[in-house]
Amino acid sequence: MPFGITAYQDREAGQYSGAVGLLQAENLSLNQNFEAQDKLDTLGINSFRYDLYKQPAEVIDSRTQSQYLTPIKDAKNLILSFGGASAAQQYMQYYGSSSAALSALETLYGPPTDNDGVISTRQVITSLTWTGVANTMGINISAGTAVSTAGAESGSGVVLFGVSAAIGIATRVDIQDVTGNIGSGVSFYIDNVQNSNATGKEFAASGEVFEDSVVVLYYPQLHPPDPAAVNPLADPQFKILPVNGTDGLGSGQTYYRNSIQGSYGSFPYLTGHSEPYRDGYTLLGDAYTVTDVDGERHASIASTCSYIDALRGVDITTGIQSYVGAGSTVKETRQEFAINQWSLVKNRVNTQARINANDAAISILKNSAFQP
């Protein structure tokens, strides 16, 4: 800390009067710095401006949730009523190849690159079929049961829907989470117990439907500013809006359609979650390739996707993107005042610590026991 006094003597310090004088002069300068800060009230101004942005940040966050995120979630749940698990049990559509099934899935629900797309992941469902003659042992199987095939087409998976078919009854078993190549005409096992071989194979597809999310960049030692922190920007965290259940917090934010970054399964990092991060986001359900048996199911899905498209907007001036962009600007500006607050308070803490250290040294140097 520079100061103007260059020569000062404290005769009570005896041999150390020069050193004590300089320490006292430094303390005088440091205390004058305190007085100047108090008169200018820079800390107060920055604190006032930081607080000034609190309410608009909270309101924007709350409106982002109520006017966009919640309606988008509700629309996705409506889509799941048309194409979710309950509908798929009755109206699953099957195809002759896995590529055809995936293509149909994207036609119904859109790929991640489309602004009206609603699925975050996708997978092929293998459907094994038995003719009545081929079903020689009866098939009784619960959803979630492990199955596998062996031989030329070996693979494993998990049963999607429970099936109960007596001997001689034609049936099918839909299998998801497939690894390898589930095949027909080869040995078929239910929980490692061999059953009759399937006679045919078809394909369907499904995609997971997650909520849209806003991920907030958050510095916990900056909101509010913590003068005890060595660096308030040293521990960046990424949290779902609202942060810790509180609107208005954060230093910036990004909106993610379907909680992914533009490609299947690309969930953004969230603090406290490991790869693939998906456990930090909210899964609403699975959507399937379903038939249009009633002539309205596909149209209803399409119109609801269009509604979601409008809510999302096309740029930072429309839809949820406008709210997220405005909220990010407010939070980034608020962060600047938070950093200024931290710097000023930290400077005061450091200055007082320096004064205290100088006073301790002066006390020792003026002690007669330390005089030569």
Q: In this predicted model, what pLDDT tens digit does every residue of 98-151 receive, in sequence order?
A: 999 999 999 999 999 999 999 999 999 999 999 999 999 999 999 999 999 998
Are 50 and 337 a contacting pair, CB within 8 Å? yes
Percent of the chain whose predicted confidence (pLDDT) is above 90: 69
Mean pLDDT over 15-30 rounds to 59
Cis peptide before 224 (omega within 30 of 0): yes
**247 or 153: which leads in pLDDT:** 247
Q: What is the pTM of this model?
A: 0.84
Report the distance separating Cα 270 and Cα 257, nearest Å: 15
Q: What is the pLDDT of residue 52?
A: 85
Q: What is the mean pLDDT of the chain?
A: 88
User: pLDDT class for 3, splitting at 50, 70, 90?
Assistant: very low
Give 187-246 pLDDT, tens digit per residue.
999 999 999 999 999 999 999 999 999 999 999 998 888 888 889 998 999 999 999 999
Q: What is the pLDDT of residue 322?
A: 97
- What are the start-end ranges of the E strands in the chain? 123-130, 139-141, 146-150, 155-159, 163-165, 171-180, 187-190, 193-195, 200-210, 213-218, 237-240, 252-256, 283-288
Report the distance separating Cα 147 and Cα 151, nearest Å: 14
Q: What is the pLDDT of residue 353?
A: 67
Q: What is the pLDDT of residue 340?
A: 84
Q: HSE-up of 285 (CA within 13 Å, CB side)?
A: 18
Reply yes or no on whether the pLDDT at 366 is more than 80: no
